[in-house]
Chains A and B, each alone.
With several copies, the nearest count.
Chain A
Amino acid sequence: MLYDPEACGQSAQIAAPGTKPFNKRISRQWYDDRFGTTRMDLNLSPPEIQFRDELRAWLEQNLPRNWKQEHAALGAMEEKFAYLRRWQKKLYEGGWVGVAWPKDYGGRGASLIEQVILIEEMARASAPPVANVLGVGLVGPTLIAYGDDAQKKRFLAKILSGEEIWCQGFSEPNAGSDLAALGSEARRDGDHFILDGHKVWNSYGWAADWCAMLVRTDPQAPKHKGLTYLLVDMHSPGVRVRPLRQMTGESEFSELFFQNVRVPAENVLGRVNDGWNVAISTLMHERNTLGANLHIVFKRQFDRIVELARANGKAADPLVRQKLARCRADIEVFRLTQMRAITRVNQSGVPGPEGSILKIFWSEFNQRFQQVASEILGPYAQLTGECEHSPDEGQWAYGFLRARGNTIEAGTSEVQRNIVAQFVLGLPKSY
């Protein structure tokens, strides 16, 4: 008889040693009847396979064979970016941009798993990124959730086609981990807001037509309560973009300065002073889709460092073997943990704190991995791009420096650990 916790559970029912109280045993049939026959299944479903195959066929037809060379041959940043806009246009015409968006807004209503399939297939094919990464991934979904009909009509199609490029203005010099402490202010002035502020760590600002911003509209309210989510035309007078040079030497990010910028009141997304909730929704989307291609990126780098370790003989060194095996295991465990998180979000429909676990894991892994790579390369590890001896044009020296930012950007490891402690484990707020 199968254990029935309702009917049992008292220690009085445990028989004295030596007796055999349970001589009837259950059968497979009994088990299947009682519990069902569903099983863990990592295979794609038939519709998922169809989605993937359709995408593969389209890429086969449309992906420029040697786009990296074509792209690299273009001189100016603007020309390179125009190339990506053309690629996005092509993808858009094929129906492969914003696949998760509802059909009404130009999407396919794809499931989370289908989104992940798309991200992975693009990574496997080494396809170019779309130009309007933030528009498609973050601003669009927020507009769909919070925008009014006019806003949706005005913005969504042009996001998908890449006609209008978006950036995001959240972080400020004095509002990093403590985002709600931001001080950029928008004062109401008739049917406009007058915006003054300073944003940092902004991506794509130099190329953007629009910026989705979080600004303070009620300085008297408690700090989370007086914020508004504002859509700002980057071509407005008073907007200035300055490259922000990071420790790697590049300027991947910009600073944005806003001085007396007039923003029509109709460009408020959601309600005035409710911007915190709107932004949180954006950040959830960010954590949900960000990093779905990372395991492929890591795997590719891993395979390359294995090649280099074979070439310089380190692949036979027991210490290096341990470290590479650990990296291999980490990449695999990252992939698997991401699959589990996707399974859960796909079923519940709600992005959860799993994102923080993954973020901590991959960012700390990448720092370990880059260190292992540097140990394998020895003195060559420090050579930067401009040198003929430099392995892979200095990507490893660059990668070492760039990885240092991983545990800071998109929420420091400290903030992420607070989130795990408080939202996964239910420990009390620590500050």
Chain B
Amino acid sequence: MRFDLSETQQLLKNTARKFLQAECPMAEVRRLMETETAHDPVLWSKIAAQGWTGIVFPEEYDGLGLGMVELAATMEEMGRALMPGPYLATVPMAGVLLDAAASAAQKRKYLAPICRGEARAAVFEGGLFAQDLGVADYLIQADRRNGALELVLWPASAVAAKPMPALDLTRRLYEVAITNPAAGELLARGSEAQAALDHMYDVATTALVAEMLGGMQRVLEITVEYAKTRKQFGKPIGQFQAVQHLCADMVLLVETTRSAAYYAAYALQEKLPEAREAVSIAKSYASEAYREVGNRGIQIHGGMGFTWENDLHLYYRRAKASEILFGDATEHRERIARLVLGG
């Protein structure tokens, strides 16, 4: 029994951290967030060269064929680095949906280019927005037509993407309009489409939780570092019990979220019957924990934490967007209740 990343998985994670420290430091994050799309093609091609764009997809479509735990470990590092751009939309969302729903021919046509880093994609289920649609090469729409759920793929040329300014500056939201209704290609329909969509949400939610975990871990580290060096009343503020206890709370929030996040990834990977519950437990935890870690981190930083130049608010903005995405804590607790209590 070993409930921890294996040596292999830890090596992957360490390498991802070093890659992102060099290729996507905070200066780069701040540069990209001031651009129109927060996406950098060069960074994307480097990510692709790491294999990350195909990490969980079969080798026959140029994927790396690794599992959920490896995806989670990698996304944890992306969240730690606050990596901007369309990774979440492209890989754990659109890619997973294609892998689950498309025919072999369609996968060769649409999934393989994603794996190779040549294409980006987005998903839209008829809510308020599609994430990072502005840099997508195609959009997969989940739509109820003629009484059945359909998954339809639209090329970018058939879709208008109108930017929607929002709190998170590193990952962009777009309003969706289909401009050429004839250009859609059906991927799946009915119960098959529903199963693929459900699976995609489980995977994407777990990936998002791992990313949130990395973010909150980083907020904790930045804050502890600050508490050790910032002096008030002639002492490092980390010597004040009030600050220590806020930091200890942050450790609890991070470590419990880590347990839930890793287990959700493992349970999905192993197709355990409790996987769906594990995903909702993880998201209900992470949704509140990331925000609360952000609250405590900024509070401990005092006025400094409230400035634009301090990085914490960039994490805080991501935390808020992530809290909402794929259902907030309340929605996931109701999902847990349905599994445990029925009704």
Contacts and interface: CB of A to CB of B under 8 A. Distances in A.
A35 B13 CA distance: 11
A273 interface: no
Contact of B306 (A2, A247, A340): A247
Given A48-B1, A324-B341, A31 B41 contact: no
Interface string B230-272: 0111111011111111011101100110111011001000000
Most buried by B among A2, A247, A319, A381: A247
A389 B128 contact: yes
A245 interface: yes
Contact of B281 (A43, A332, A409): A332
Interface of B: 1-9, 11-12, 15, 18-19, 21-23, 40-43, 45-46, 48-51, 54, 59, 62, 64-67, 69, 116-117, 127-129, 164-168, 173, 175, 224, 227-228, 231-236, 238-245, 247-249, 251-252, 255-256, 258-260, 262-263, 266, 277-278, 281, 284-285, 291, 295, 298-299, 302-310, 312-313, 316-317, 320-321, 324, 328, 330, 333-334, 336-337, 340-341, 343
Nearest to A329: B281
Contact of B42 (A21, A41, A374, A426): A21
B41 A315 contact: no
B304 to A, nearest CB: 8
B48 A2 contact: no
26 contacts: A3-B50, A5-B15, A14-B42, A22-B45, A26-B64, A27-B64, A36-B6, A39-B8, A40-B266, A43-B1, A244-B307, A249-B308, A321-B337, A328-B336, A340-B258, A360-B248, A361-B252, A371-B291, A381-B324, A394-B165, A404-B306, A405-B306, A417-B242, A421-B248, A426-B228, A428-B239
A43 B267 CA distance: 12
Contacts of B240: 414, 430-431
A259 to B, nearest CB: 22
Contacts of B40: 17
Given A5-B18, A414-B299, 8 more contacts: A35-B7, A39-B6, A40-B3, A247-B307, A322-B337, A332-B281, A427-B224, A430-B244
Q: Please classify how large the interface on chain A is, using the bins under 10, 10 to 19, 20 to 34, 35 or more.
A: 35 or more
Nearest to B127: A379
B126 to A, nearest CB: 12
B316 A3 contact: no
A22 B333 contact: no
A382 B168 contact: yes
A235 interface: no
B341 A306 contact: yes
A316 B343 contact: yes
B240 to A, nearest CB: 7
B165 A383 contact: yes
A21 B234 CA distance: 51
Contacts of A26: 49-51, 64
A154 interface: no
A76 interface: no
Nearest to B15: A3
Contact of A408 (B22, B50, B302): B302
Closest 5 CB pairs of A and B: A22-B49, A247-B313, A421-B244, A38-B6, A5-B18
Contacts of B234: 178, 181
Contacts of A400: 167, 320
A426 B248 CA distance: 11
Query: Of A22, A200, A367, A412, which is in contact with the most chain B CB atoms at under 10 Å from its CB?
Result: A22
Interface string A316-357: 101101101110110011101101101110010000000001
Nearest to A10: B22
B299 A425 contact: no
Given A5-B22, A26-B51, A414 B245 contact: yes
B267 to A, nearest CB: 9
A44 B3 CA distance: 11
B17 to A, nearest CB: 9
B3 A9 contact: no
Interface string A400-431: 11001101110011101110111011111111
Given A17-B40, A40-B266, A8 B64 contact: no
Nearest to A174: B231
B42 A19 contact: yes
A333 B252 CA distance: 11
B327 to A, nearest CB: 10
A200 B303 contact: yes
A322 B59 contact: no
A195 to B, nearest CB: 22
A316 B11 CA distance: 47
A427 B239 CA distance: 7
Nearest to A11: B22
Q: Which has the most chain B C-beta neighbours within 10 Å: A181, A325, A401, A427?
A: A325
A57 interface: no
Contacts of A178: 232-234
A312 interface: no
Given A25-B116, A27-B59, A337-B256, A387 B306 contact: no
Nearest to B333: A325
A35 B2 contact: no
B93 to A, nearest CB: 16
Given A25-B116, A340-B259, A325 B18 contact: no
A95 B110 CA distance: 61
Contact of A333 (B65, B244, B285, B340): B285
A384 B256 contact: no
A407 B251 CA distance: 18
Contact of B337 (A43, A246, A324, A397): A324
A42 B324 CA distance: 31
A177 interface: yes
B133 to A, nearest CB: 15
B218 to A, nearest CB: 14
Contacts of A387: 164-166
Contact of B307 (A3, A246, A422): A246
A76 to B, nearest CB: 22
Contact of A42 (B3, B165, B313): B3
B110 to A, nearest CB: 18
A36 B309 contact: no
A39 B341 contact: no
Contacts of B41: 17-18
